[in-house]
Structure 1
């Protein structure tokens, strides 16, 4: 599989009129339009009819991450406004869940709006909740190139950081909506199955699913499973470099149980359909993590069979034999001929060897043209921004036909981006 490093991002753009960006969702989630693309043909439908377009042996994979109120607004003693956008926890925490459960204080990587106005004095705000008041304080620990490390502390040690954000923060709507978050966004910008706090953006393909739609899918025998990928702000990051080689793919936390990986292994014969780009990146990452483990074992065996370390050539990501994370170009540099069943089994064996019941790690997987799907057979997804890695993912699945159905959607008044309509895309039969 050739690397997409030299792809020009200018080849993945289109004109998106402002009036076709959905600023608000429809009142009934599953009445959003659904464009179905299969074998080169386009069908107009709606999410509430999704079950009609899926084979009975399908397995849907959903991302059950929960959007947190990641924007914190402070006012300086002099009256100036400072906004903290909480991106991800400090490196000392094993995962997002651990950091979200911290009580009393926590270290967080943040973007800071109005940073030039913030010298070194702590910021403070008071929040009324019930008959109580919460005092929240933010102190700058370190300025780094891409973010600030901030210590957030609060005076009610019974509250977790997730609870503090819920009381003090605002939902971080995507910047392209160009409006302030409203009270209704706390519900509408959240899937009905969201469970695990940690995302700063919703897995938006899932926003269209309702209880009645789940019932229709189940009635047809279509199963569903859940994974967790905490969506970072990098999902909105446009590719500004001329080629992908100069673009750093954002890394995001994934959290999956060994039981899910075993279920995935047992259902490889089915039509596996991730709902959303995050779900697709998660299950495809599991494949490559398994390949990475098989490669590590192979290298260890080779290492034992040679007289000197100088005879062993490994990539930088494989030198640490205990490491289980996925980097931007791994999928293009690792062995390409590993069966999905073998890769998933290797990952299961690794977890059992480590006596772990879940895998919590980071993935930087970049899915772009030349990428070959290993687990997924189709995807349910929204319409994405021009020159984005999300659009590149779509192009990787359907090739240049992405232009065909994007042009069709634009001409037929489909609503675009997070609160907009979506599509069901089937990968060509290999």
Structure 2
């Protein structure tokens, strides 16, 4: 399976640069995974596609302001650090730009010394393990000094950094937002509950590996970076109850999907658990737990486009994307949504 099989033409002006004022007023394309039939509606009308007894699964991770700008203490050269994964003893796996300047032992200073970091290990390319030192509470310092780690195709800072969070974001730890969830408002979630749909939460802390381009020609040779996930017992129970009752499990986003597929046994039963997942879903994969997916429009040749193609078929997905381009849908993180069922 060649990475070029997942390519498509996208005019640059269709890449959404800002979120809409009203989260739930984005457009929604519906895609029937069996027939490839496409429909068009507004996101808040997703309620009409949900059936009492369905279980809607959301990812309650919270994006941390993980982008730090500082200087090298010895030379004063500017440096950018992106926090990716928390280890023990105040050590973080990070992405450093420019990486060449961050050799082992390099001391970095942020906010005039409010936060300091020492490079303790060179991992690969721009990846470094950095040990931080500070007075006070790390999260508060990060809130003061850090910026939201917006994807590179978004060209300016956000006016309101809460717009890169879902309304149900709860647990700090992501380097990127689970963007399918950005379309939900609290009112819409209440409306969904009132219809008799169960809402279950899982946690997957999104790392940048999810968005990394596939650099190998053969899709099967690509390796996903690991991400931490957790499913609490009462949430697993909600999901299992829906499955056992013959109802659908609908994943909000590829991150919820990857969490459920990582935790499910062969019969689609979910055990409460936490751990790390490197699951890579591409065409040929047999889904064990999810029946339907709410997702955004993804980058050409990306692992996320491959996941969506595994669920609905590559030809159906690429035809739907072609239609989305023709109909001037907004693409990527702040763009419109797709419901595959």
TM tier relative to shorter chain: over 0.9
Q: How does 1:133-212 map to 2 (within 5 A)?
A: 135-146=114-125, 147-156=127-136, 159=137, 161-177=138-154, 179-184=155-160, 186-212=161-187
- Residue 264 of structure 1 corresponds to 239
What displacement does 1:87 show? 0.9
Q: Is 2:279 the counterpart of 1:365?
A: yes
User: Quick one: distance in 1 between partners of 2:179 and 2:273?
Assistant: 24
What TM-score results when the alignment is normalised by the length of structure 1?
A: 0.74
Gaps of 5+ in 1: 1-6, 94-104, 128-133, 291-337, 348-357
What displacement does 1:32 show? 0.2
User: Quick one: distance in 2 between partners of 1:266 and 1:222?
Assistant: 12
- After superposition, the Cα gap between the structure-2 partners of 1:245 and 1:42, relative to the gap in structure 1 and judged at 3 Å, is closer
What displacement does 1:259 show? 2.1
- Residue 85 of structure 1 corresponds to 82
Q: Is 2:110 the counterpart of 1:125?
A: yes
3-state SS in 1 of match to 2:114 = strand
Query: Structure 1, residues 143-190: CA drift from partner, whole Å, max 9, x if none?
Result: 12252110111022xx1x33322122110001122x242341x11110
Query: Structure 1, residues 264-289: CA drift from partner, whole Å, max 9, x if none?
Result: 222102111010000011111111xx
Match of 1:21 among 7, 15, 36: 15
Match of 1:11 among 5, 15, 27: 5
What displacement does 1:224 show? 0.7
Query: Structure 1, residues 384-424: CA drift from partner, whole Å, max 9, x if none?
Result: 00000000011001112001111110000100000000110
What displacement does 1:256 show? 1.0
What displacement does 1:49 show? 0.7
Asked if 1 retains the 8 angstrom alpha-carbon contact of 2:53 and 2:242, the reply is: no
What displacement does 1:118 show? 4.0
- Residue 94 of structure 2 corresponds to 110
Asked if 1 retains the 8 angstrom alpha-carbon contact of 2:102 and 2:119, the reply is: no
Match of 2:228 among 228, 234, 253: 253
The structure with more helix, counted as a fraction of residues: 1
Which protein is bigger by CA-based radius of gyration? 1
- After superposition, the Cα gap between the structure-2 partners of 1:394 and 1:121, relative to the gap in structure 1 and judged at 3 Å, is closer
User: Quick one: distance in 2 between partners of 1:21 and 1:9?
Assistant: 21
Gaps of 5+ in 2: none
User: Quick one: distance in 1 between partners of 2:93 and 2:190?
Assistant: 40
What TM-score results when the alignment is normalised by the length of structure 2?
A: 0.93
- After superposition, the Cα gap between the structure-2 partners of 1:369 and 1:121, relative to the gap in structure 1 and judged at 3 Å, is closer
Asked if 2 retains the 8 angstrom alpha-carbon contact of 1:162 and 1:197, the reply is: no
- After superposition, the Cα gap between the structure-2 partners of 1:115 and 1:339, relative to the gap in structure 1 and judged at 3 Å, is closer
Asked if 2 retains the 8 angstrom alpha-carbon contact of 1:172 and 1:181, the reply is: no
Q: Is 2:21 the counterpart of 1:30?
A: no
User: Quick one: distance in 1 between partners of 2:58 and 2:165?
Assistant: 13
User: Quick one: distance in 2 between partners of 1:70 and 1:267?
Assistant: 36
User: Quick one: distance in 2 between partners of 1:126 and 1:142?
Assistant: 23
- Structure 1 residue runs of 4+, over 4 Å off? none
- Residue 383 of structure 1 corresponds to 297
What displacement does 1:45 show? 0.5
3-state SS in 2 of match to 1:110 = strand
Q: Is 2:334 the counterpart of 1:419?
A: yes
User: Quick one: distance in 2 between partners of 1:264 and 1:67?
Assistant: 25
User: Quick one: distance in 1 between partners of 2:91 and 2:62?
Assistant: 20
3-state SS in 2 of match to 1:175 = coil
Q: How does 1:209-288 map to 2 (within 5 A)?
A: 209-268=184-243, 269-287=246-264
3-state SS in 1 of match to 2:111 = strand
